[in-house]
Amino acid sequence: MSDLTPFYVTTPIYYVNDHPHVGHAYTTLAADTLARWRALLGHPTYSLTGTDEHGQKIEQAARRAGVTPQEHADRYSAPFRALLATLGAAPDDFIRTTEERHKEVVRAMWRRMEEAGDVYLSHYEGWYSVSDEAYFTEEELVDGKAPTGSEVTWMKEEGYFFRLSRYGARLLAHIEAHPTFIMPQSRANEIKRFIEQGLQDISISRSTFRWGIPVPDHDPHVIYVWVDALTNYISALGGPSAERYERFWPYAWHIIGKDILRFHAVYWPCFLMSAGLPLPERIFAHGWWTVEGEKMSKSKGNAVDPTAAVAAVGADAFRYFLLREVAFGADGDFSQSALLARVNNELGNDYGNLLNRALNMLAKYRGGVAPAPARPGGSGWGAAEGALHDAFVAARADLCAAMEELRFHDALRAIWSLVGAGNKYVGDSAPWVIARRGAEGAADLDRALYTLCEALRVVGVWTLPFLPTKAVALLDALGAPPEARTWESASAWGGLPAGAQAAPAAVLFPRVEGPLALTRAPAPAPVPAPALGAAPAAPPAPAPKPLIEYEDFAKVSLRVAVVLAAEPHPNAERLLTLTLDAGEERPRTVCAGIAAAYAPADLVGRRVALVSNLAPRKLRGVMSEGMLLAAGEGAAARLVEVPAGLPAGAEIK
Ligand code: MSP
């Protein structure tokens, strides 16, 4: 096990009232890059994202759509989860606040705060904004609206309060003692000024709506959505005293947008102090994106759709652009011209060219086989090699410093300084000139080719967190073995082993031409539930199922089977009875609900995926010994098919 400190990185959990847009993708990709970076360094790493599903605005949105709040949450949470694969982000967990594992920890958190004497019943009056889920004082209103521009109404309610006022001094002292607790520094100053003005107790329950976690022993009050939501950061670890919590808390870095800084940098630490739990290590607030100079808004329909952006330029290029274009912490503008320029120049030309030139020359002069390592000070090591090596040493230091402070754009700049130095080295060393010297120049040519390939390898390893797919493609093309893909191996010069065999590389970043379609097609709101008796609407997206452990999955035995015979089921119109060869002594019989989709004769000879260890079950009088994998319903059902060449009985895993 690694002796480096554990690392835990989180994104905000996204409200289930919107489709994912570039702002959401931004935090997700930044957190994913950090997780990959720390994992590359060797830290035990855990990363979390998810959806925030309670509160009045979700309840209202569900009512408008004519569905239950849970159905609404299911429909809107699924796209956030699906987006992860599209983006190439791979968090360890996806938490939903409607999951029982979360609710349990929220209740425990409430009790801890109550036991600390920090929760009391009182009355509250003020201007309430449903959209912000927060009260505002008269002085805070701007032209009769919340500072965010949302509508407010005068509300009076009995509710539970949290003694935030008790924790101001302690929090301030913590911020002073931990200069990187809130970043960037300007945000820390903003929070300090806010605390210095004096913290007021806050209302932490609501009784005017139902969609939330009931206050323990005090139903009809529900727990304020921010107490609920913030607790996700520990509920996903199993809550205090769980093994994962013990391992990863408080090594947490919360990556958030600047709009939710106060909740994270004031409320959350105070809740934790009250509950007797340690504070996270860092809270980093990033800036906001505009699109072509304009604020993103639903009415303008100008929000950049991450799925469209990935379709246009690829997941790695989209990530690269977001992290390279603006300093993390500052606001930025998403413009097509800037996106195209970065993708075509920095990725296509600079990064792609380094790969192509190195591999083309290696193929031409050495049959694609890496020569023996050329190391600093070794025979023939000259000024050109020295300059490239200096660039490597400087870039490595800059990269590490930048990542420690979440300066992604500087980290990428540092890596690209090595890319630039590598491309320059091609001209400086001019392998094609050395090649003309024939056998006499062989050692010099080896050195030049090795040095170039080594720079390429280091660039490949360093970009693993930023271009997770393309960096692997680069290292594959170079033929770098696993031990030459580690951070350690890329920290010293000479890690590419002699004899590594390169393969011809596909173009990593093909040129992209505009204009690109980057916004969501004006999508209809999710289909409202049909009124009773009405024709059924399109089926809702399936509710995501909770994550399972590998051990759970491993219990399922999936096998290739070949259909030997198929006939209608004697007693059920919906079913076909299939005889399958699953590579066993005797054929199996399986009943499948695909009669509306397939004629029996069409099935004979097909290779299908069989769940082979499902307990046998009698279906309308016929014993069915397993189940076939399929998608879709009724006439639209389709069997999952297995490519030819795999024998009956082969395990699918
Ligand atoms: N549910 C809360 C967070 C609870 S965390 C315990 C929430 N959700 S949100 O869906 O409205 O926003 C999620 C994140 O998206 C926030 O960090 C917010 O800053 C970010 N962004 C929303 N629009 C954005 C841009 N235009 N640009 C960059 N990020 C933006 O708040």
Domain ranges in the chain are 7-287, 335-491, 550-652
Structure tokens, 77: 């949470």
| Atom number in ligand 1 closest to CA 303 | 26
Q: How far apart are CA 240 and CA 104, in angstroms?
A: 11
* Contact between residue 90 and residue 219 where contact means Cβ atoms under 8 Å apart: no
User: 229: helix, coil or strand?
Assistant: helix
- In this prediction, residue 638 carries a pLDDT of 86
Closest by Cα among 208, 130, 115, 211 to 163: 115
pLDDT score recorded for residue 539: 47
User: How large a percentage of the chain has pLDDT more than 90?
Assistant: 77
Whether 227 and 109 have beta carbons less than 8 Å apart is answered as yes
DSSP 8-state symbol, 26 = H
| 270 φ, ψ (degrees, to nearest 5) | -70, -40
Tell me: pLDDT of 178 over 90.
Answer: yes
If you average pLDDT over every residue of the chain, what do you get?
A: 93
CA of 32 from ligand 1 middle (Å) equals: 16
Among 197-201, 483-487, 554-558, 579-583, where is mean pLDDT lowest?
579-583
Q: Tell whether ligand 1 has an atom less than 6 A from the beta carbon of residue 55.
A: no
DSSP state of 219: T
Handedness of CA 259, 261, 262, 263 (dihedral sign): positive
Pocket lining: 334 vs ligand 1, CB cutoff 6 Å: no
Nearest ligand 1 atom to the CA of 14 is 10
Which residue carries 């905000």 as its tokens? 12
Please tell me the distance between residue 277's alpha carbon and the centre of ligand 1 in angstroms. 25
* pLDDT recorded at residue 45: 98
* CA gap 567, 599 in Å, rounded: 9
Amino acid residing at 158: E
Is the pLDDT score of 532 beyond 60? no
pLDDT at 549: 79
Residue 544: its pLDDT value, please? 67
* pLDDT digit string, tens, across residues 603-647: 877 889 999 999 889 888 899 999 999 988 887 788 998 877 678
Copy the structure tokens of residue 177.
């003692």
Cα separation, 434 vs 419, in Å, equals 22
Residue 36 has pLDDT above 60, yes or no: yes
pLDDT digits (tens, 9 = 90+) for 438-459: 999 999 999 999 999 999 999 9
Helix axes 352-366, 408-429, angle to 10 degrees: 30
Evaluated on CA atoms 53, 56, 59, 62, the torsion sign reads negative
Between 550 and 407, the higher pLDDT residue = 407
Q: Which atom of ligand 1 is least distant from the CA of 296?
A: 26
pLDDT, one tens digit per residue, over 101-114 is 999 999 999 999 99
Q: Is the CB of 213 under 6 A from ligand 1?
A: no
Cα–Cα distance list, 303 to 16, 31, 288, 294, 565 (Å): 16, 21, 12, 10, 53
User: Ligand 1: which atom is nearest the Cα of residue 258?
Assistant: 19
- Reported as a pLDDT band with limits 50, 70 and 90, residue 526 is very low
Q: What's the whole-number mean pLDDT along residues 161-182?
A: 98
Judge if the beta carbon of residue 426 lies within 6 A of ligand 1.
Answer: no
Report which protein residue has its CA nearest ligand 1's atom 8.
14
Number of Cβ atoms within 10 Å of the Cβ of 492: 12
| Mean pLDDT within 472-498 | 98
Average of pLDDT values for 556-571? 87
User: Is 230 close to ligand 1, i.e. is its CB under 6 Å away?
Assistant: yes
Q: H-helix or E-strand containing 135?
A: strand 134-136
**For residue 20, is pLDDT > 90?**
yes
Our measurement of the distance from residue 156's CA atom to the centroid of its chain's CA atoms, rounded to an integer in Å, reads 40
**Do the Cβ atoms of 529 and 67 come closer than 8 Å?**
yes
Q: From ligand 1's centre to the CA of 162, what distance in Å?
A: 24
pLDDT in tens, 219-229: 889 999 999 99
Least confident of 151-165, 204-218, 284-298, 514-528: 514-528
pLDDT per position as a tens digit, 85-144? 999 999 999 999 999 999 999 999 999 999 999 999 998 888 988 888 888 888 889 999
The CATH number corresponding to 550-652 among 3.100.10.20, 3.40.50.1820, 3.30.70.1290, 2.40.50.140 equals 2.40.50.140
3 state SS for 539-608: CCCCCCCCCCCHHHHHCCCEEEEEEEEEEECCCCCCCEEEEEECCCCCCEEEEECCCCCCCHHHHCCCEE
Is the minimum distance from the CB of 257 to ligand 1 under 6 angstroms? Answer: yes
Give 301 Cα–ligand 1 centroid separation in angstroms.
Answer: 18
Asked if residue 12 has its Cβ within 6 Å of ligand 1, the reply is yes
Percent of the chain with pLDDT over 70: 96
pLDDT tier at 527, thresholds 50, 70, 90: very low
pLDDT for residue 294 is more than 90: yes
CA of 12 to the centre of ligand 1 (A): 7
- Mean pLDDT for the stretch of residues 159-164: 97
- Ligand 1 pocket member 288 (CB < 6 A): yes
Atom of ligand 1 nearest to the CA of 15: 10
| pLDDT (tens digit per residue) in 42-62 | 999 999 999 999 999 999 999
Question: How far does residue 322's CA lie from ligand 1's centre (Å)?
Answer: 16
Q: Evaluate: CB of 23 within 6 angstroms of ligand 1.
A: yes
- Give the whole-angstrom CA distance, residue 447 versus residue 350: 22
- pLDDT (tens digit, 9 = 90+) per residue, 349-380? 999 999 999 999 999 999 999 999 999 999 99
Alpha helices in 304-382 (DSSP H): 306-313, 315-325, 336-341, 352-366
Task: Give residues with Cβ within 8 angstroms of 516, minimum separation 6.
Answer: 308, 309, 312, 313, 336, 339, 340
The CA 11 to ligand 1 mean position distance, Å, reads 9
Q: Is the CB of 226 inside a 6 Å radius of any atom of ligand 1? A: no
Q: What is the pLDDT of residues 239-254, one digit of tens each?
A: 999 999 999 999 999 9
Assigned token pair, 570: 């004697």
14 alpha carbon – ligand 1 mean position (Å): 6
* Residue 331 predicted with pLDDT over 50: yes
What's the CATH architecture for 7-287? Answer: 3-Layer(aba) Sandwich (3.40)
Confidence of residue 599 (pLDDT cuts 50, 70, 90): confident
Nearest CA to ligand 1 atom 6: 230
- Name which of 6-10, 323-327, 588-592 the model is least confident about: 588-592
Q: How far is the CA of 19 from the centre of ligand 1 (A)?
A: 12
Distance 283 CA to ligand 1 centre (A): 14
CATH code at 335-491? 1.10.730.10
Our mutation pick for probing the ligand 1 site, out of 15, 24, 83, 263, counting the most ligand atoms within 8 A of Cβ, is 24
Interval between CA 15 and ligand 1 midpoint (Å): 8
Spell out the alpha helix ranges (H) of 124-177.
168-177
pLDDT at 566 over 90: no
Q: Is 233 in the pocket of ligand 1 (CB under 6 A)?
A: no
Cβ(27) – ligand 1 distance below 6 Å:
yes
Q: Is 289 in the pocket of ligand 1 (CB under 6 A)?
A: yes
Give mean pLDDT, residues 492-512.
95
Q: What is the pLDDT of residues 534-558, one digit of tens each?
A: 333 344 566 667 777 788 888 899 9
Classify residue 646 as exposed, middle or buried by CB count within 10 Å of its CB (0-12, 13-18, 19+). middle
